[in-house]
């Protein structure tokens, strides 16, 4: 009966007596071989389960790796990196092993084959075990869906970067392109492989940035106008893509950067003289060169008041003050002719000033008001 049962156990394979083993904890997987003696257990113990070989397809354009049925950006620096990752994924270490240590030593066999020497050690049944496996990794090069679409010229949005009555300057153009690229990079970082720049085209009047999705186009146009000012319109056109008969809309986002930029000197021709532009977000704001008084375009004029550009503060130079005549006038040397000329004295020019920055405009020579002048309006 059960009371008199012999509790000694024997190895079912060789018949040797085995010491009693602890029952697995509840929930712990039951190992089929746990009843074997150590000799039989280790006879066919494998610390590592490794595939005979690993094949991996890498996009030769962007380095993405084909896993399962999709492409994954792995951020690998080179093919060895990819091989290490893929082999690590494919190896399985025995469940019962503890204190596992391992290392991989890649050996480049030829351009497409890397042999991975993987060394493992661990402790099983209080015994130190070691195992080395060699897994050849075959790398094949392909083209991922995204790079395929890029090289096929596929795009769903085009952001046209233009200026109002002018060509955007090189800094504005490159910043606009940077904005597009950084928005794509952000999305890529989040694992989005559907957002990409297809092409950037130089046009005489600006840049065309072709993008993969309508949503991305809208985000790019929005951020460009938030940062550089101006506005955009969007116009969808129906196109048929790739010949699969799927009709899709391609959207053109026409960005118009503002006619004037901060630093421009403009003349609103209202009798109060030229204005140094300080801001073109919302409606244009600036400061009168002659008086330092704030200027703000009327709401309905927005960022484009009826005015002509007469100069730019980029052309400002320092010149000698001959004499400060009174509150409203200062005599300086014209930086081009070196003649003494009397020009308006804006606030901020000290009575004993020795030199001031002046800007020559189509509307005459003016002192550049200090940064703070007119800030009430620009704020
Ligand atoms: Zn045995
Ligand atoms: Zn690719």
Q: Which pLDDT tens digits describe the chain residue by residue (379 residues)?
A: 444 445 568 888 898 888 776 666 666 666 677 788 889 999 888 999 999 999 999 998 888 999 888 898 887 778 888 888 889 888 988 888 899 999 999 999 998 899 999 999 999 999 999 999 999 999 999 999 889 988 888 899 999 999 999 999 999 999 999 999 999 999 988 888 889 999 999 999 999 999 999 999 999 999 999 999 899 999 998 876 566 667 778 999 999 999 999 999 999 988 889 999 998 887 899 999 999 899 999 888 888 888 999 999 999 999 999 999 998 999 999 999 999 999 999 888 888 989 999 999 988 999 998 776 555 443 3
**Ligand 1 center–CA 11 separation, angstroms:** 5
Six token digits for residue 309? 């550009």
DSSP labels, 68-113: TTEEE----SSHHHHHHHHHHHH-EE-TT-EEEEEEEEEEEEETTE
3-state percent helix, strand, coil for the chain, nearest multiple of 5 = 20, 40, 40
**Ligand 2 center–CA 146 separation, angstroms:** 6
Q: Are the CB atoms for 58 and 80 separated by under 8 Å?
A: no
Three-state DSSP at 180 gives: helix
**Ligand 2 center–CA 249 separation, angstroms:** 25
d(CA 49, CA 133): 9
DSSP 169: P
- The answer to whether the Cα torsion of 6, 7, 13, 16 is positive or negative is negative
**Ligand 2 center–CA 198 separation, angstroms:** 12
Segment 181-186 long-range contacts (CB within 8 Å, at least 24 positions apart): 183/216, 183/219, 183/220, 183/223, 184/211, 184/216
Protein residues near ligand 2, an ion, with CB under 5 A = 59, 61-62, 64, 144, 147
**Ligand 2 center–CA 322 separation, angstroms:** 66
d(CA 226, CA 82): 40
**Ligand 2 center–CA 179 separation, angstroms:** 22
- Which ligand places an atom closest to the C-alpha of 151? 2
- Which ligand places an atom closest to the C-alpha of 58? 2
């Amino acid at each position: 009966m059960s009371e008199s049962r012999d509790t000694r156990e024997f190895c079912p394979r060789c018949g040797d007596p085995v010491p009693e083993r602890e029952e697995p904890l509840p929930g712990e997987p039951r190992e089929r071989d746990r009843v074997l003696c150590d000799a039989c257990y280790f006879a066919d113990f494998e610390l590592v389960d490794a595939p005979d070989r690993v094949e991996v397809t890498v996009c030769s354009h962007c380095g993405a790796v084909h896993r399962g049925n999709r492409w994954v950006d792995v951020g690998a620096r080179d093919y060895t990196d990819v091989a290490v990752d893929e082999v690590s994924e494919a190896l399985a270490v025995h469940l019962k092993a503890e204190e596992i240590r391992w290392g991989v030593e890649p050996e480049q066999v030829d351009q497409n084959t890397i042999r991975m020497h993987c060394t493992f050690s661990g402790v099983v049944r209080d015994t130190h075990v070691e195992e080395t496996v060699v897994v050849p990794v075959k790398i094949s090069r392909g083209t991922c869906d995204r790079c395929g679409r890029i090289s096929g010229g596929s795009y769903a949005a085009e952001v046209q970067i233009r200026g109002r009555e002018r060509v955007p300057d090189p800094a504005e153009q490159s910043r606009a392109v940077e904005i597009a690229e950084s928005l794509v990079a952000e999305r890529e970082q989040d694992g989005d492989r559907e957002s990409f720049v297809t092409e950037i085209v130089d046009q005489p009047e600006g840049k065309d940035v072709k993008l993969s999705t309508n949503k991305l186009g809208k985000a790019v146009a929005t951020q460009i106008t938030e940062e550089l000012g101006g506005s955009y319109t969007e116009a969808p056109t129906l196109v048929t893509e790739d010949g699969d008969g799927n009709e899709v809309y391609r959207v053109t986002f026409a960005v118009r950067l503002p006619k004037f930029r901060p630093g421009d000197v403009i003349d609103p021709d209202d009798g109060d003289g030229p204005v140094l532009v300080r801001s073109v977000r919302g409606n244009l704001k600036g400061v009168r060169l002659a008086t330092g008084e704030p200027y703000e375009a009327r709401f309905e004029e927005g960022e484009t008041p009826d005015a002509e550009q007469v100069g730019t503060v980029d052309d400002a130079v320092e010149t000698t003050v001959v004499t400060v005549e009174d509150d409203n006038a200062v005599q300086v040397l014209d930086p081009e002719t070196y003649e003494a000329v009397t020009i308006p004295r804006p606030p901020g020019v000290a009575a004993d000033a020795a030199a001031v920055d002046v800007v020559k405009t189509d509307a005459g020579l003016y002192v550049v008001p200090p940064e703070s002048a007119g800030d009430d309006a620009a704020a």
